[in-house]
Structure 1
Amino acid sequence: MATTLDLHDISYIHEGAPEALFDVVDATLPQGWTALLGDNGCGKTTLARIVCGALTPTHGAVNPSPSTLVVAYCEQECAHEPANLDALRDDWSPEVIALRDTLGIGDDWPYRFATLSGGERKRLQVACALHGTPDLLVLDEPTNHVDADTRGAVAEAMRAYRGIGVLVSHDVELIDATCTQCLMFTRRHMGGRNRTVLERYAGGYTKARRTHELRRAEAVGELKAAQGRRRALESARDVRRAMMDAASARKHGGHLIDRHDHDARNTHKWNEKQADKASAAAYRALGSRLEAARREAASIETDAKRYDGEILLDITPSSRRELAHVPAGILRFGDAAGGAGCVAVSELTVDGMRWHARKVGDADGAAQGCPGIRVPRLGVGPRDHIGVDGANGTGKSTIVRALLGSVDDTVPTLYIGQLPQAGADARLLARLHRLDDADKARVLSMVAQLNDDPDRLMRGRDPSPGQLQKLALCIGLLDGPQLIVLDEPTNHLDLHSKQALARFLRGYPGALVVVSHERWFLDEACGSAE
């Protein structure tokens, strides 16, 4: 088994792109876990696929070659069955039983992947990635869709892994709990242009972020000092230019001397000639120093600017008293229908604008083939901001489907689910390019406010899931929705994007229903539960 993996001078450029996604990437991946961090669309998944050997870099090499290793890759999405699901299902060795127990995987899960919740699918997906003890393992957003208990189980399974691990994630707690180093993609500004660089930091996310902030503050201080020196030299050069102009005026004032006073005229010429030489030399010296100061300021890299504005919407809340409602009863998992034969294996409690789903009883309902969630009467008013949380498999998505099924067709509604539909990325990009100039400008402006690069999105042919998530929201906002329903909207989003999305949702004037495992996000978007 390899003990390290070296990335040497790695560059990657998409076909037809005007510039590299990233270039001159050098890094060493030791045994243990390395976090790969950065904003949506910066190239994390691309680099992860290069590390795995699934993608060939435009330039550079990975040593040893991934083709000589046992490699496993756990992708972001969990819409499809893992390739080795059958192998995991049929393996009852003590090691695999321990892995199942660690991740809390039910014996029947491999047989009913299509009926599992997003979090349950993710647990099974992670187990399949760990199965077979690969030399190199890449986990791409392994805690998308999962609750706090599952996040802890994933972290425990990761800590037991002894190979070379790469974690692509925005989950601060998971990174701090498992990673010994962070590789951070950062957009840097230098000499009037932005470029993407990869920086190494020791420790988990919290330590890496603190070190990054210190480096950023130092760079900003250096830039300000260099710009101050440049301005001082520009001012000194201007003064010297004024002195030379004055000397020139005096020189041309020689006609005032009596033309018969040859001694005075010769003295005047000699003095002005020496003054010209001294002034010219001083001016040239200042020019050289100024040019050096300009080069120094241009060579200092600082973090590229982030957008911190607001998304402005002209949306009027509905005049209806209630936009969605669900009668009290038991909702059958899967299709959100009710029925006398359903057994409640979970229930929903309502505390103002916070709804919490929790498990009750045991899995008897699953054995009878009709498990469900017991709910009180639910209603969504025209200005309500409702946050829904709870463990995986308790029926949160079932509640969402029931609410959506009750909405009148005349109510403009925007729904974004946690699992993208097949071909959704192509349809979104096609719609973006079909928009007229005014609407396209509005969408790209909103994308920028959600911490993304509009130019990169317009050029990109393979946008990241996080970019598609933002684009789906921004294009949907063009229709002026009076009700927005978001199921796990923070999946795939980087931390800055989550914060920007929460700020926008907090100010959204219409009705909002958000399902999330991130309670801080629900507090920001929907108001605190306390």
Structure 2
Amino acid sequence: MATTLNLHGVSYIYEGAPEPLFDGVEASLPQGWTALLGDNGCGKTTLARIVCGALTPTRGAVNPSPSTLVAAYCEQECAHEPANLDELRDDWSPEAIALRDTLGIGDDWPYRFATLSGGERKRLQVACALHGAPDLLVLDEPTNHVDAGTRDAIAAAMRAYRGIGVLVSHDVELIDATCTQCLMFVRRHMGGRNRTVLERYAGGYTKAHRTRELRCAETDDELKAAQRKRRALESARDGRRAMMDAAAARKHGGHLIDRHDHDARNTHKWNEKQADKASAAAYRALGSRLEAARREAEAIETDAKRYDGDILVDITPSARRQIAHAESGILRFDGAAPDDGCVAVCELTVDGARWHTQAIDGMGAVTQGGRGIRVPHLSVGPRDHIGIDGANGTGKSTLVRALLKSVDDMVPTLTIGQIPDADAHARLLARLHGLGADDKAHVLSMLAQLNDDPDRLMRGEEPSPGQAQKLALCCGLLSGPQLIVLDEPTNHLDLHSKQALARFLRGYPGALVVVSHERWFLDEACGAGM
């Protein structure tokens, strides 16, 4: 089995695109885990698919060829059953049992994939990817949908893997726990244009990020020094120009010499001629040095500018005292009305605007009758920001469905779920291109504030899952929703996009219900200390 995979001059350009998504990528992927990082839409998934042989690069090569290896790719979305689900289900070897135990997979899960929560589906998907111990494995956002305990379980399973692993993720804790190097796609600015480059850093995310910040600070200092040098030369050249102008004025003053004093007039002419030559030579030398200084400054690459402004929306909160509600009792996981056979295996605790779901001790083995979550009376006001967290499978999605069912049809509502349907991306692009000029400009402006590149979408490129998530929000905001419901909105988003989204949600004037496993995000979007 190969212990290192090498990328030589790898480039990829989508059909009809004016420039490559990335160009001339050089990288080595050793045994163990390498994190592949970057903003949404920068090409992480494309490069990952090239690495495992699912895509052919436009230029360049991968050595050894992925076709000579047993390669597996675990995609971001978990809407469909993994291709080798039956193999895992029927394998009761000690290794397969250990893998199930590590990831906490129930024996019945392979038989009811469609009824599993997003986090449960993701665990089963990761288990199928690890099953069979492939030579080369790509995990694309494996901790989307999952809680902290499941993240730890996935990290443990990853550490037991002995092949070449590529992790596409924005999960800092997972990267720190598993990866020995980070490859970062970054947008760099040089000579008036931006380009995407791949930078390598040793260690997990925390170490890599610290190293990169130091490198960027050194580059900024280098650029500032080059700019100071250029300004000093510009000042010296302007001073020399002034001296030349003064010399010219003195030269014209030669008529003050007695016209019969030929020796004085000849001396004056000779001195001025020499001064002209010296000044012109000095001026030309300064011009050459200034041009060299300008080229030096333009050759220094710096990070491309990010947009850190606010998303502006004209939304008036509802005049209703209550936007959504749920009566106290048991909400069935299958969505049916409660009956005498329904058993509460989970419960909801409410602490102000923070709602937490959890399993009830001793109820995990209940298999007869309906299963559900016990809730107190719940009410969402027109300006309330509610953050919901809890372990996978404890009823968060069930709770959200119940709240949405209670919302009056007259209340404008924007709902974005955690698992989009197969045609969602195509519909979003069609909606974007069908907007009027003003609405389209507003959507593109909002996308830019969420750390995205609107030009790529306008060129018709297929949006990444993270871009699609942001596009769904921006298009939905055009309708002026008085209630926004987001189920795991940070799935697929890069770190800068998460921060920008949290900042917007905190200032959103209407009612907000957010489900997330990222506590910092709920604190920022719904208010800390809840």
TM-score normalised per structure 1 = 0.98
Q: Which residue of 2 aligns with 1:2?
A: 2
How many residues matched? 529
Alignment partner, residue 169 of structure 1: 169
Q: Shift of residue 249 of structure 1?
A: 1.9
C-alpha separation in 2, matches of 1:68 and 1:337: 54
Measure the CA separation in 1 of the matches of 2:45 and 2:338: 41
CA contact under 8 A between 1:99 and 1:157: conserved in structure 2?
yes
AA aligned opposite 1:362: M
> 1:76 aligned to 2:71?
no
Partner residue in 1 for 2:123: 123
* Partners of 1:191 and 1:20 in 2: CA distance: 18
Q: Render the CA deviation track for 1:42-87: whole Å, top value 9, x for unaligned.
A: 1100000000111111110000000000000000000000000011
Cα deviation code 1:100-134 (max 9, x no counterpart): 00000000000000000000000000000001100
Displacement of 1:364 in angstroms is: 4.6
- 8 Å CA contact 1:175, 1:204 repeated in 2: yes
Which one-letter code corresponds to 1:431 in the other structure?
R
2:201–2:211 Cα contact (<8 Å) kept: yes
Distance (whole Å) between structure 2 residues aligned to residue 265 and residue 373 of structure 1: 108
Q: Distance in 2 between matches of 1:321 and 1:347?
A: 26
| Shift in Å, 1:254 | 2.2
| 1:351 Cα offset (Å) | 1.1
> Where does residue 292 of structure 2 map in the other structure?
292
Report SS of the residue matched to 1:46: helix
Q: State the alpha-carbon separation in 1 of the partners of residues 529 and 130 from structure 2.
A: 37
User: Take 1:73 and 1:337, find their aligned partners in 2: how far apart are those partners?
Assistant: 40
SS in 2 for 1:368: coil
* Pairwise CA distance, 1:463: 1.2
**Corresponding residue for residue 196 of structure 2:** 196
CA distance in 2, matches of 1:529, 1:515: 17
Deviation at 1:275, TM superposition (A): 0.6
**Displacement of 1:460:** 4.6
Q: Within the alignment, does 1:371 sit opposite 2:388 as a pair?
A: no
Partner residue, 2:409:
409
- The question of whether the paired residues in 2 share the 8 Å contact of 1:336 and 1:402 is answered with no
Q: Which is further off, 43-52 or 426-435?
A: 426-435
Which residue pairs with 2:136 in the alignment?
136
Match of 1:486 in 2: 486
| Aligned twin of 2:528 | 528
SS where residue 341 of structure 2 aligns? coil
In 2: Cα distance, 1:489 partner to 1:336 partner: 26
Aligned-partner residue type, residue 321 of structure 1: R
Larger CA deviation: 448-457 vs 322-331 = 448-457
Superposed, which structure 2 residues align to 1:75-474 within 5 Å?
75-335=75-335, 337-360=337-360, 361-365=362-366, 367-474=367-474
> For structure 1, which runs of at least 5 residues remain unmatched after alignment?
none
User: Cα distance, 1:95 vs. partner?
Assistant: 0.4
| Contact persistence 2:11–2:22 (CA under 8 A) | yes
Structure 1 residue identity aligned to 2:338: G
- For residues 398-436 of structure 1, the C-alpha deviation after alignment (integer angstroms, 9 at most, x for no partner) is 111111111001001000000012211111111111111
SS in 2 for 1:479: coil
Q: Is the 8 A contact 1:336 1:398 kept in 2?
A: no
Distance apart, 1:386 and its partner CA: 0.3
Structure 1 position 313, deviation (Å) = 1.6
Give me the whole-angstrom Cα distance separating, in 2, the residues matched to 1:334 and 1:249. 95
How far did residue 448 of structure 1 move? 1.0
Whether the aligned pair in 2 keeps the contact of 1:141 and 1:167 (CA below 8 Å) is yes
The answer to whether the 8 A contact 2:389-2:515 is kept is yes
User: 1:197, 1:460 → 2: CA distance?
Assistant: 23
SS in structure 1 opposite 2:419? coil
> Aligned letter for 2:20?
A
Stretch deviating more after TM superposition (105-114 or 306-315): 306-315
Cα distance in 2 between the residues matched to 1:233 and 1:405: 70
Listed one character per residue, the Cα deviations across residues 501-523 of structure 1 (whole Å, up to 9, x for unaligned) are 11111111110000000111101
How far off its partner does 1:369 sit? 4.8
1:188-228: per-residue Cα shift (whole Å, max 9, x none)?
A: 11111111110000000000000000000000000001000
Structure 1, 500-509 or 429-438: larger mean CA deviation = 429-438
Distance 1:205 1:460 in 2: 32
Asked if the contact 1:333–1:395 (Cα under 8 Å) also holds between the matched residues in 2, the reply is yes
Q: Is the Cα–Cα contact under 8 Å of residues 353 and 529 in structure 1 kept in the other structure?
A: no
Alpha-carbon distance in 1 for matches of 2:337, 2:13 = 49
CA spacing shift, 1:364–1:103, aligned 2, 3 Å: closer
- Tell me the equivalent position of 2:20: 20
1: CA distance between counterparts of 2:236 and 2:369?
85
Which residue is 1:512 aligned to?
512
Moved over 6 A (4+): none
335-344 or 61-70: bigger deviation: 335-344
Q: Deviations over 1:298-347 (max 9, x none)?
A: 01011111111111221111110001111111111132643332111111
Quote the Cα distance in structure 2 between the aligned partners of 1:509 and 1:503: 12
The offset of 1:529, in angstroms, is: 4.1
3-state SS of paired residue (1:23): strand
Question: How large is the Cα RMSD of the aligned pairs?
Answer: 1.1
